[in-house]
Amino acid sequence: MRVITGTARGRRLITREGEAVRPTPERVKEALFSIIQFEIEGRRVLDLFAGSGQLGIEALSRGAREAVFVDSSRESLDVVRKNVESCGFADCAKIVNMDFAAYLMRSEKPFDIVFLDPPYRTGLLQRALPLVAAKMNAGGTIICENPEEEELPEQCEGFSRIKRYRYGKICLTVYRRKDATNE
């Protein structure tokens, strides 16, 4: 894994070994950031179920103001911490070891962009989506990574599914507020 572009372009990122993690494939990450390339600058980003932190780090490299990395695994957050530090983003990153629902219930500041990439086929995505939608700024974007056979709702807490992109067996599902979808 590497940072694709921006201030940390080309930096190698580490990841946990084993079956417990599933890093976003490079081509899917490139596609994801093509979708939101003009929305990142100066934004507040949440990388929920952070894993290695590669999505939040890519957003910081492309000019996001702040990224919050949340994961319930200490091992994953150790990897996130190392990746954040090696890319020089320690001053604009917040790393939180907490269950996603507990974090979202306590979080007060809203987000502009949220990456949701929980373990597949666990129901976590369906549980997290409405909680995340309640923590978004107007005009915010939620991007879910999910397996192709997993259906997500058309509407969720004032957000509409505007597009679903398929890359092999992986889908990126993009949500925006209903009143912001007429772009």
What is the model's pLDDT at position 25? 82
Task: Categorise residue 158: left if φ over 0, alpha if ψ from -120 to 50, beta otherwise.
Answer: left
Q: Does residue 106 lie in a domain region?
A: yes
> Measured at the alpha carbon of residue 161, what is the angle toward residues 120 and 139, in degrees to the nearest 5?
110
- Tell if the pTM clears 0.85, that is, is over it: yes
Domain count, the chain: 1
d(C-alpha 133, C-alpha 23), whole Å: 24
* Contact call for residues 126 and 155 (beta carbons, < 8 A): no
- The range of the structural domain enclosing residue 159 comes to 26-180
Query: Between the CA of residue 176 and those of 32, 111, 152, 155, what are the distances in Å?
Result: 15, 12, 14, 10
Q: Does residue 8 lie in a domain region?
A: no
d(C-alpha 168, C-alpha 71), whole Å: 26
CA 110 to chain centre: 14
- Per-position pLDDT tens, the chain of length 183: 899 999 999 999 999 876 556 778 888 999 999 999 999 999 999 999 999 999 999 999 999 999 999 999 999 999 999 999 999 999 999 999 999 999 999 999 999 999 999 988 899 999 999 999 999 998 999 999 999 999 899 999 999 999 999 999 999 999 998 765 544
CATH number of the domain where residue 123 is located: 3.40.50.150
* Contact call for residues 75 and 95 (beta carbons, < 8 A): no
Q: Does residue 122 lie in a domain region?
A: yes
What is the model's pLDDT at position 118? 92
Q: Does residue 14 lie in a domain region?
A: no
Q: Does residue 79 lie in a domain region?
A: yes
